[in-house]
Amino acid sequence: MFGGTNHPSHNRIPLGARPVPGVPSTWMDDTEDPPLMAATETGTLVVAGLCAATREEVSHAVRSGVPDDVAWRWPGAYIVVHVEKKHVTLWTSLGALPVYVHRVHGYLYWSTSARFLASLAGSLELGMEEVARFIDGCPITHSLFTNVERLPVGHRIRMYQESWSATPVWKPRRSPVPTALRLRRALEQAVAARVDRFPTPTCDFSGGLDSTTLGLLAARRLHSQERTITATTLHPKGITTGGDLSYAREAFHTPGLAHAWIGRDHTHAPYGDLALVPTDEPPVSTVSLPSFRDHLRWLANHGSGVHMTGDGGDALLLTPAAHFSEMVRARPLKTLGAASRFAQVRHMSLWQAFGHGRKVPPAGTRLELPSRTHHTMAATLIDSARSARADVELAAAVGVRLDNPFFDAHVIDAYLSMGVREMPEPARYKPALKEAMADLLPPALLRRTTKATTSADHYDGLRRALPQITELVDGHLATLGLIDPRAVQGRLGALAVGADDLGPVERIVSFEAWWNALTPVAWRETAHGHT
Per-residue pLDDT of the chain (531 residues; tens, 9 = 90+): 899 998 877 678 999 898 898 888 899 988 788 899 999 988 999 999 999 999 999 999 998 889 999 999 999 999 999 999 888 999 999 988 999 999 988 889 999 999 999 999 888 999 999 999 999 998 888 999 999 999 999 999 999 888 999 999 999 988 899 999 999 999 999 999 999 999 999 999 999 999 999 999 999 999 999 999 999 999 999 998 888 899 999 999 999 999 999 999 999 999 999 999 999 999 999 999 999 999 999 999 999 999 999 999 999 999 988 887 777 776 777 777 777 887 777 777 777 776 766 665 556 788 999 988 999 999 999 999 999 999 999 999 999 999 999 999 999 999 999 988 899 988 889 999 999 999 999 999 998 877 766 678 888 899 989 999 999 999 999 999 999 999 999 888 888 777 778 889 999 999 999 999 999 999 988 765 443
Instruction: Give the model's pLDDT for residue 530.
Output: 41
DSSP state of 65: B
Amino acid at 3: G
Q: Where are the beta strands (DSSP E) in 299-411?
A: 306-308, 402-403
The continuous run of DSSP H or E covering 45 comes out as strand 43-51
CATH number of the domain located at residue range(s) 179-316+361-446 in this protein: 3.40.50.620
For the chain, give every domain's residue range.
2-170, 179-316+361-446, 323-353, 455-517
Q: Do domains 2-170 and 179-316+361-446 have the same CATH topology?
A: no
Q: How many CB atoms lie within 10 A of CB 89?
A: 18
Tell me the chain's radius of gyration from C-alpha atoms. Answer: 23
Q: Within 10 Å of residue 396's Cβ, how many Cβ atoms?
A: 17
Pair 214, 203: CB distance under 8 Å:
yes
**Dist CA 348 CA 432 (whole Å):** 25
Q: Which of 3, 196, 171 is nearest to 81 (CA)?
A: 3
DSSP summary character for residue 53: -
Q: Rounded to a whole number, what is the largest CA-CA distance in the chain?
A: 68
CATH class of 2-170: alpha beta
Residues 6+ apart with CB under 8 A from 514: 276, 279, 281, 282, 283, 286
pLDDT for 495 equals 85
Helix axes of 209-223 and 179-195: crossing angle, nearest 10 degrees? 60
How much is the pTM? 0.93
511 contacts 134 by C-beta, under 8 angstroms: yes
Instruction: Give the three-state DSSP class for 101.
Output: strand
| First-last CA distance in the chain | 18
